[in-house]
Structure 1
Amino acid sequence: MKTVKKRTVSIIHELIGNEELMTLSELAEKFEVSQRTIRNDLKLINELLKEMDLGKIRLVGGRIICPSSFGQVLKAVPKDDLYTYKLSQEERIEIAASFLINTVEYITMSVIADNLVVSRSTVINDLSKIKAYIGQGNLKVLSHPNKGLRVEGKESDKRLFLMNIKGNGVEKEQKDIVESIVLKQLNLRTDSWQKIREILYEAVYLDQSRLREDSFEKIVLYLGIMIHRNQQGSYIEIQKRQPNSKYRMAQNILIQIAKEYFISHKEDEVQFLSELLICEKFSGYVSEKNEITRKEMKEQLDSAIYEAEILLKKSRRIVKGYFSQSAEIWEHYDTVELHHFLPASHIQLGVECQDWKEIVENMGRWMYERGYVEKRYVASMIENTEKNGPYIVVLSGFAIPHDGQGKGSIISGMYLVSLRRPIPFGVEKLDPVEFVCCFSAVDLKVHMKAFFSLISMFRNNTFKRKLRECKTSQDAAHLIEEYEFE
């Protein structure tokens, strides 16, 4: 297979991405080379097309006409195969820096050369620039005559440096060879990124905050780097204990990470992650109001709980009519379980809907008609999702439409549906959504306990498979009760 230069790959993408025919002069101007150079690149592309029996690029009046199956030529350019992709010096420096930082012990220049598929002399020529590049991250490359090279510096600086190499998050994994190779060095399975996202989605939801998408991906990337470093035995240096507003959120994230990846849950790691979560450079939050003080938040929370308790007492008779269980279940919060919220009458299977807005509106109307919410609650759920993005999608294939307390909730309740045809909600990593559970909450204690049970179930692939197999709402209700107490 022919060696493919970075510019040649970029030209292929340019030709695929343009609906109109491009000219030699346009490509020459874009890539700042001569038309003759572009012709040579097109000649190489034609050789690839010939090898794959995909036709041939033709030049007609200076315009470039590609064969109908032209897009398949990308299969000839493996994204992380350095035998068929010629790295630029900038790419070599970034990848070599990543190799050095991700190596616990010393690494020789010959090993670096083998990984980059270049000669040892090429690495020697690049070495001063590699050291300068790594030095930008407050790190230092040490040389040993018999052992090779090693990076010295704080663990936190090493992680932040790796994040900057892959600065745009893991979304571009398939678009850039440097990013692909850096991710590959982390030795995480492809489904690990999905698992990390689910853990972070859950933590963000419980924190009642909303990370911007770019910030979310940066934290996902950091967690992937942290897992890899911990598995190597590299932990964050001792941190000064300064609990902040995101400390509990960081703690919840790392408890789940530790369980999933069998790594230690260290307080220094919690402290550093919490500082990343409040650092504007890494984490941006979407909020409707200005931040309030801890004291104000506690006062509002206490007031909400007090009002909810009064409302629940007044609503017992109504609740009894909607739940098959007796009203005594509300006497003590600790006795209210998820299956109390989801009897068979609150579950519907095989629902048909065209889009996310229709399903949210239909479920909200169901809650309204049965007295769980005011009419404004339905509109508010849709408005919030349109304004702040589909934050209601909390796990792969699972969404929880809702709104905050005081927005029209009357009684704590839930309504679960499975969709006959899964629907995209606009979260590429978690779409399409197959299960939707709408809820209203007037009591934090009851709501959070049920929420934890619900999330736990829908993280279980076996539970989701069995739920798909349920023939009736009664079957689904029995399944929920069975898994709730596992």
Structure 2
Amino acid sequence: MDKRSNQILNQLLAGGRLQLAEISEKYQISERIVRKKIRELNDELNESGLPSVSINGEGILRFEVREEGLLEQIQTFIMNNDFYTYHLSKNERKTILAMLLLNQEKYVTAAWISEYISTSRNTVISDLNDLKDWFLKHNMKLVSQVQKGYIVEASEGDIRSGMLKLLELNLDEEKYGAMGAFHVFGHLLLKEIQYQGRYETIQKVLREEELRHDCFLSDFSFSVAVYELLILAERVKKGKTLEQERQPDWENASLSSKYPLSRAVLDRLAEEFSLDIPAAEAENFVFCLRRKSYLKSGTNNVDQLVIPVLIGEVIYRIISRFRINFYLDFALYDLLVDHMKSSVYRMSSGEVLENPFRGEIEKGYPEVFCTVEECLKPLEDYLGVKVPRDEVSFLVMYFASMLERDKLERMRERKVPAVLVCAMGRGTVQLMLAKLKQLEDVLEITDVRSSHELKDMGNINDQLVISTVAFPDGEIKNILMVSPLLEQEDIYRIRRKATKLRENWSGGQTAETGKFLKKQKKAERNSLGAMLSADRIALKQEAQSWEEGVRAAGRLLYESGAVTYEYIEAMVENIKVNGSYVVIYSGIAAPHAEQEKGAVREAASLVSLKKPVVFGNSENDPVSYIIGLSILNSNSINCAIYNLVRLFSQEEAKSRIEAQQSPEELLETIRRLENEYCG
């Protein structure tokens, strides 16, 4: 199951039936892919003894049997999903990984994380490098140590704040039912703080104490309070309390009207979960409660925090309606909150900020406009004013951009459908399918056909055709001829073709998509030849170990001013901590470090060795070529890495590279070969 399958399943539970065409249009995927997802979903449902989803001749989806208790059975089915059965998207994976790291008490290795979330080690390392920046932006530090792994260093308050935002911005109870039980991603995110067995108890205790204290939270504030208590219970159980971070103003917490409610709730939770909850936790929870909105409260005092709370509710209502997740993008959320605060200030002062694009926005995003207007009503009721349409249009721009971003992410994750055409027997087909597994991030084999069957396929032109059989030119639009044994060269040609097709399909979808593709094309100008220079190439060098080789490549970068001296050691340290993943192809290593370790500008160096060295990579050792990389933007070196592997996978190109006797000749040869082989 994945996010899309989960959404289709939820819609079926809610409405009973769906139109195939509507799903295809809504999620920007072909009807064929929808059918494939339903087949895969049915396999999982049948394994659990649940009824299948059928698609009739009119393209209507419904459960074959909708017996009593189906809702509870599906809930159990969803909650049984784990990292082995649910395919996390890139954003979902990083969000889960952030929560996992925040809640760790000791160092964890990339290998352990890889096993835990059922993802490759290289993918985990890439995610961890991205997350380092995210943690720094939020007053936390992701520390890595050789032979120990990774751990987050931060105050307990900042850790809890990060955990709360991950839950608050990514769980949608309105659409998926209590505690995200019909939302696999939400379920997996909550599992990191051990919500099962606690969630219902916390809800029950909070409801009962609301009634006893005649103090009732709004739905949004109630949900957030439950998340805060879940986090509190898990952290206190781990021995992580706020006792050491007691603030001076907490001394007056016992005088607050919310203190009796805070104390009563935490006393009961201490008993329910056998926890020793310090007084500082009750004092802090008072301030959590003061930041909430109430339908009814035991005090007539109007807290100055009510506006931010109402703004949070408005945003929550809107993203729930459109099923938008912020994932790790706290900055966008904060920017949106700040804008809404400014809008409230302008309305209070009788000012109106005119939006010159209001007409185009209303016309281009009518559904978003209507939804934002509707969700603003609680804030309008509190302020006693109607939000001007110009102000609404500014908010629509924010949410429309999020929808466009979400659409773009879907397009980038979309796999290219492909038909495999083979004239050989079943054994050859199975071998080819096994080899094509390494392309499953961009490719989806939808069918296997013989050449004479192809004429009966009316929709063949909207798929990539991978064929061992020749066809007349122009007969089939997107076709690649390959060897039945699928040589490495064939694999790279298929990946290149699939990537181009996916980019072409993405292009023209939205204005935002167009801008993205332009940025990608601009980034791709950083080919290997463009990043190299003759003074950063050293041929036939001596090196006794991989460390010596890496330092030689690093010195070439340093001497040309591309990096600081510290960057050289950071390249070595990166390999010691994260392993030999830098050995990207047989005989080739591409060591690098993070930008903040001393990268000044983007550049590459190349060292060829007299005798190969061993990095500890069983698949691609020993290494004869070390390409040092100074990285400012990971996307901008994609082309260089691709071209590097592409050239060294070609025997002719590799021979021409090895034959060059001077840095100048080698640089010219690489640039010429990139034009020939990489286009």
Q: Give the TM-score normalised by structure 2.
A: 0.38
Cα 1:169–1:262 shift into 2, 3 Å: farther
Q: CA deviation at 1:76?
A: 5.9
SS across alignment from 2:142: strand
Residue 266, structure 1, aligned to residue 278, structure 2: yes
Offset at 1:46? 4.6
Helix, strand or coil at the partner of 2:81: coil
Residues 56-100 of structure 1, C-alpha deviations (whole Å, 9 max, x = no match): 724414444652359677876554322211111111111111111
Does the Cα contact within 8 Å between 1:139 and 1:157 map onto a contact in 2? yes
* CA distance in 1: counterparts of 2:77 and 2:213, whole angstroms: 46
Correspondence for 2:528: none
Moved more, 8-17 or 159-168: 8-17
Instruction: Name the residue aligned to 2:252.
Output: 242
3-state DSSP of counterpart to 1:85? coil
Tell me, in whole angstroms, the C-alpha distance in 2 between the residues paired with 1:101 and 1:253: 25
Report the secondary structure of 1:142's partner residue: strand
Selected match of 1:256 from 263, 268, 275: 268
Q: Which residues of 2 match residues 445-460 of structure 1 at below 5 A?
A: none
Give, as a single letter, the amino acid of the residue that structure 1 aligns with 2:252.
Q
- 3-state SS in 1 of match to 2:152: strand
Q: Residue by residue, what CA displacement relative to the aligned partner does 1:321-371 show, whole Å, maximum 9, x if unpaired?
A: xxxxxxxxxxxxxxxxxxxxxxxxxxxxxxxxxxxxxxxxxxxxxxxxxxx
The aligned length equals 285
Residue 174 of structure 1 and its aligned partner are, at CA, apart by: 0.8
Structure-1 separation of matches of 2:12 and 2:153: 44
Residue 9 (1) aligns with residue 6 (2): yes
1:207, CA displacement in angstroms? 3.4
Native 8 Å contact 1:169 1:221 kept in 2: no
Distance in 2 separating the partners of 1:26 and 1:114: 38
Asked if 2 retains the 8 angstrom alpha-carbon contact of 1:48 and 1:76, the reply is: no
Q: 1:224 to 1:32 in 2, by over 3 A?
A: same
**Residue 22 (1) aligns with residue 19 (2):** yes
Q: Tell whether the 8 Å contact from 2:75 to 2:181 is kept in structure 1 after alignment.
A: no
Alpha carbons 1:169, 1:214 under 8 Å: kept:
no
Rounded to whole Å, the distance in 1 between the matches of 2:50 and 2:269 is 47
Instruction: Give the CA deviation at 1:197.
Output: 3.1
Tell me the residue number matched to 1:285: 294
For the 8 Å contact 1:79–1:180, the answer to whether it is kept is: no
Where in structure 1 are there 5+ consecutive unaligned residues?
294-486
Match of 2:159, SS state, is helix
- In the aligned structure 2, how far is the partner of 1:142 from the partner of 1:227? 25
**Could you tell me how far 1:102 is from its partner in structure 2?**
0.9
Q: Deviations over 1:184-219 (max 9, x none)?
A: 2333552x3343334333443443322123212321
SS, match of residue 270 in structure 1: helix
For 2:192, the equivalent position in structure 1 comes to 185
Q: Which residue of 2 is the match for residue 199 of structure 1?
A: 205
Checking the alignment, whether the CA contact within 8 Å between 2:82 and 2:188 is kept in structure 1 is: no
Paired-residue identity, %: 26
Change (3 A) 1:73 1:242: closer
* Aligned-pair CA distance for 1:233: 1.0
Q: Which position in structure 1 is the counterpart of 2:163?
A: 162
Contact 1:139–1:152 at 8 Å: present in 2 too?
yes
Question: In structure 1, what is the equivalent of residue 183 of structure 2?
Answer: 176
Q: What amino acid maps onto 2:24 in structure 1?
A: A
In structure 2, the gaps of 5 or more residues are 303-679
Q: Residues of 2 paired with 1:221 and 1:275: CA distance? A: 15
Please report the RMSD computed on the Cα atoms of aligned residues, expressed in angstroms: 3.1
Q: Which has the higher contact order (CA 8 A, sep 6+)?
A: 1
Measured in 1, the distance between the counterparts of 2:45 and 2:195 equals: 34
The whole-number CA distance in structure 2 between the counterparts of 1:207 and 1:260 is 20
Residue 36 of structure 2 corresponds to 40
Is this contact kept in 2: 1:5–1:87, CA < 8 A?
Answer: yes
8 Å CA contact retained: 2:113, 2:124: yes
The residue correspondences of 1:6-155 to structure 2 (distance < 5 A) are: 6-23=3-20, 25-48=21-44, 52=49, 54=51, 57-64=54-61, 66-69=63-66, 78-155=79-156
Q: In structure 2, do the counterparts of structure 1 residues 124 and 8 end up closer, same or farther at CA, with 3 Å as the change threshold?
A: same
